[in-house]
């Protein structure tokens, strides 16, 4: 690994702990099985262990600093080691770290539920906590399934998803999703679901370059006409399908889907695990689009990237259908040990308070516009980039030597071009994660204009190192 010649915040540069680093690497190589990794490949690559972080920067055990270009897997909002989030966490730690929500409650959990209900479109008044995005999706699917049984329509069990959808890696989430390359082998264990084609939308730098929902909506209309009576819900990620490589939807698409679902008596589950909490500008995409889904799934940015916490919001009428005497068996028998953990809830409340200010001041909007502009200036017309997709702080750059067609996911095994660029980026003091032959740029919301400039410039240098002009 070459040393980092790029500038970094000076207070981070001294944060070195090489002895800890070597112990960490030894234990990691001997014992850890990493997520989403071909471990043979992982073990062949230079190791990297993070020791600390501040703002949008992370420091490894050798003292090298990196811009966190994927917001620690799309979670980070106000930066690492944020003094306000730290203080909220420490205040709660001084009271109690964990107390169950099974049969009891606590102030941060109850307050957070009220806060989420207030942020959500009117009617989404009930909040069920879990601790990861897939879990939030499972809860919505199971609630929809049970609702139809409780209301005398047990035949409504089907699920319709959007092509390319990703909702997590548990069986329900995999079944509802359409991440062929990742999940295909588990299909026989999942439940059947059908998928309608995604709309087309090319957008970056705040400009929609092409958009068409016609075929997508026609396909959904046909599916609903044929099978609404057997369908429990339609599920999709609104606005941006992140894990499909930042596939965008034209403005208004979600409203049309919602109208079709309502018209056919089918629940709409919106999975905002990736897009909520300012990632695209607004706090919640559905509220911004004026759409009230039947279920709303939240995770990732909910705690500003600090702790695992997720929430499924449901409409009051759905909640009411589950009420009755215990013997009626109408209860939703689902839960997780750390459901609504008070530390996570306390941090989430502080995260939301700060995010409201960032949005109200117009600061976030300016940063998102700056990011789009910088991407356009640097990468539009680049000889090795086939396509840019960007909305808010979510961007994908599709790579290919001299613009030739690459291998996209889902569908085929990529050439690892993205990985090569991401490995090279480490030498430029930047952490990125690839998706096949694409680079995904998902910055923490705290990056200011100069840091966004660094992110784009370092990405460009890494790309040029791997694919010289």
Ligand X SMILES: Cc1ncc(COP(=O)(O)O)c(C=O)c1O
Q: Which residue ranges make up the site for ligand X (CB under 6 A)?
A: 132-134, 137, 166-168, 237, 242-243, 271, 273-274, 299
- Residue 12 or 307: the one with the smaller Cβ distance to ligand X is 307
Nearest residue to 378 (alpha-carbon basis) of 9, 370, 448: 370
Provide the minimum distance between the beta carbon of 74 and ligand X in the complex, in angstroms, as a whole number.
Answer: 6
Residue 297 CB, nearest distance to ligand X (Å)? 7
CB of 275 to ligand X, least distance (A): 7
Work out the angle between the directed axes of helices 449-466 and 417-427 (0-180°, nearest 10). Answer: 120
Judged by beta carbon, residue 60 or residue 237, the one nearer ligand X is 237
Structural tokens at position 284? 């919640």
Look at residues 244, 346, 269 and name the one whose alpha carbon lies nearest to residue 302: 346
The H-or-E segment that residue 203 falls in is: strand 200-204
Q: Give the C-alpha separation, 192 to 182, whole Å.
A: 17
What's the min distance (Å) between Cβ of 347 and ligand X? 16
Beta bridge partners of 236: 270
CB of 30 to ligand X, least distance (A): 26
Contacts of 58 (CB under 8 A, 6+ apart): 50, 52, 65, 66, 68, 72, 80, 431
Cα–Cα dist 431/223, whole Å: 42
Q: Which is nearer to ligand X, 126 or 167 (CB)?
A: 167
Helix (H) / strand (E) element for 60: namely strand 57-60
- Between 79 and 168, name the residue whose CB sits nearer to ligand X: 168
Q: Looking at beta carbons only, is 134 or 283 nearer to ligand X?
A: 134
**Nearest approach, Cβ of 173 to ligand X (angstroms)?**
6
* Residue closest to ligand X, measured at CB: 133
Taking the least distance from each CB to ligand X, the nearer of 132 and 146 is 132
Q: In which residue are the tokens 């694409």 written?
A: 438
- Supply the minimum distance, in Å, between the C-beta of residue 408 and ligand X: 17
Closest CA to 261 of 285, 290, 225, 289: 225
Considering the complex, state which of residue 253 and residue 379 has its C-beta at the smaller distance from ligand X: 253
Do the Cβ atoms of 163 and 197 come closer than 8 Å? Answer: yes
Residue 288 Cα distances to 226, 232, 261, angstroms: 31, 25, 19
* Smaller CB separation from ligand X, 237 or 454: 237
Q: CB–CB of 364/278 below 8 Å?
A: yes
To ligand X, the closest distance from the beta carbon of 360 in angstroms equals: 26
CB within 8 A of 237, min separation 6: which ones?
162, 165, 166, 167, 270, 271, 272, 273, 274, 275
3-state secondary structure of 147: helix
Choice between 108 and 242, CB closer to ligand X: 242
Q: How far is the CB of 172 from ligand X (least distance, A)?
A: 11
């Amino acid at each position: 690994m070459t040393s980092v010649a790029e500038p970094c915040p000076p207070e981070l540069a001294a944060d070195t702990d090489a002895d800890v680093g070597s112990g960490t690497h030894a234990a990691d190589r001997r014992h850890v099985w990493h997520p989403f990794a071909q471990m043979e490949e992982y073990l062949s690559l230079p190791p990297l262990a993070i020791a600390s972080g501040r703002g949008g920067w992370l420091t490894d055990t050798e003292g090298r600093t990196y811009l966190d270009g994927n917001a620690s897997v799309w979670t980070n909002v106000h930066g690492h080691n944020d003094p306000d989030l730290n203080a909220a966490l420490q205040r709660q730690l001084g009271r109690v770290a964990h107390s169950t929500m099974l049969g009891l409650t606590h102030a941060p959990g109850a307050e957070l539920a009220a806060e989420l209900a207030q942020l959500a479109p009117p009617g989404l008044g009930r909040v069920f906590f879990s601790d990861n995005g897939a879990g939030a999706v499972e809860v919505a699917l199971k609630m929809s399934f049970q609702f139809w049984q409780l209301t005398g329509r047990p035949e409504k069990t089907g699920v319709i998803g959007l092509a390319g959808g990703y909702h997590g890696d548990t069986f329900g989430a995999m079944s509802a999703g359409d991440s062929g390359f990742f999940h295909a082998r588990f299909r026989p264990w999942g439940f059947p679901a059908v998928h309608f084609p995604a709309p087309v939308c090319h957008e970056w730098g705040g400009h929609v370059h092409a958009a068409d929902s016609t075929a997508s909506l026609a396909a959904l209309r046909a599916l609903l006409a044929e099978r609404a009576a057997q369908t429990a819900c339609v599920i999709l990620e609104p606005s941006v399908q992140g894990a499909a490589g930042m596939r965008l939807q034209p403005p208004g698409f979600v409203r049309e889907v919602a109208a079709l679902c309502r018209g056919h008596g089918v629940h709409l589950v919106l999975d905002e695990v990736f897009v909520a909490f300012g990632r695209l500008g607004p706090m919640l995409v559905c509220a911004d689009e004026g759409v009230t889904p039947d279920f709303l799934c939240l995770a990732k940015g909910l705690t500003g990237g600090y702790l695992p916490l997720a929430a499924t919001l449901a409409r009051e009428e759905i909640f009411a259908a589950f009420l009755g005497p215990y013997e009626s068996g109408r209860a939703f028998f689902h839960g997780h040990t750390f459901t609504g953990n008070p530390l996570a809830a306390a941090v989430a409340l502080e995260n939301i308070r700060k995010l409201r200010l960032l949005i109200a001041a117009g600061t976030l909007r300016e940063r998102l516009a700056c990011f789009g502009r910088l991407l356009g200036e640097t990468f539009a017309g680049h000889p090795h980039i086939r396509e840019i997709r960007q909305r808010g702080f979510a961007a994908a750059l599709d790579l290919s030597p001299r613009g030739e067609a690459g291998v996209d996911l889902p569908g085929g095994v990529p050439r690892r071009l993205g990985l090569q660029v991401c490995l090279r980026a480490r030498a430029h003091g930047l952490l990125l994660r690839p998706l096949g032959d694409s680079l995904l740029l998902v910055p923490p919301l705290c990056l200011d204009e100069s840091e966004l400039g660094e992110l784009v410039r370092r990405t460009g240098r890494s790309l040029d190192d791997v694919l010289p002009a």
